[in-house]
């Protein structure tokens, strides 16, 4: 973002910047006004609690996360079913995504 200050969207494809919250705050804080006004759409992958907290602080407009528990659960069910002679699951098997915004931050992650 510093190298290209006229960006109107920035989408890291992994949540790694937010896994170091202090470093991420230092990097993103200068853009909080642009994020708040939606002049800069900063949306980040993953929906871990540390990331949702930063979104609530105004350091992103949204978070989109996979559902690893659901992936593992469906994998184990599929493997058991195939062992028992049933057909393999659909390819791909959709497990859903959690799409979070500051307005839905407290309820957006599937339980």
- 80 burial type by CB count under 10 A (0-12 exposed, 13-18 middle, 19+ buried): exposed
Domains of the chain: 9-104 (3.40.50.2300)
- Cα–Cα distance for residue pair 27/34, rounded to 1 Å: 13
pLDDT, tens only, 33-83? 999 999 999 999 999 999 999 999 999 999 999 998 999 999 999 999 999
Enter the pTM of the model: 0.83
Q: What is the mean pLDDT of the chain?
A: 94
The structure tokens listed for 49 are: 């609690």
Question: What integer is the mean pLDDT of 97-111?
Answer: 92
pLDDT at 1: 85
In this predicted structure, the answer to whether residue 111 has a pLDDT above a threshold of 80 is no
- Cα–Cα distance for residue pair 4/41, rounded to 1 Å: 14
The structure tokens listed for 41 are: 């759409």
């Amino acid at each position: 973002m510093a190298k290209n200050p006229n960006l109107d969207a920035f989408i890291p494809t992994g949540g790694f910047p937010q896994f170091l919250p202090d470093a991420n705050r230092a990097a993103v804080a200068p853009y909080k006004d642009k994020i708040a006004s939606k002049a800069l759409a900063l949306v980040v992958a993953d929906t871990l609690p540390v990331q949702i907290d930063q979104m609530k602080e105004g350091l992103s407009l949204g978070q989109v996360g996979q559902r690893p528990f659901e992936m593992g659960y469906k994998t184990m069910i599929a493997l058991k079913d195939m062992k028992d002679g049933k057909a393999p699951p659909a390819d791909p098997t959709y497990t859903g995504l959690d799409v979070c915004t500051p307005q839905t931050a407290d309820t957006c992650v599937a339980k």
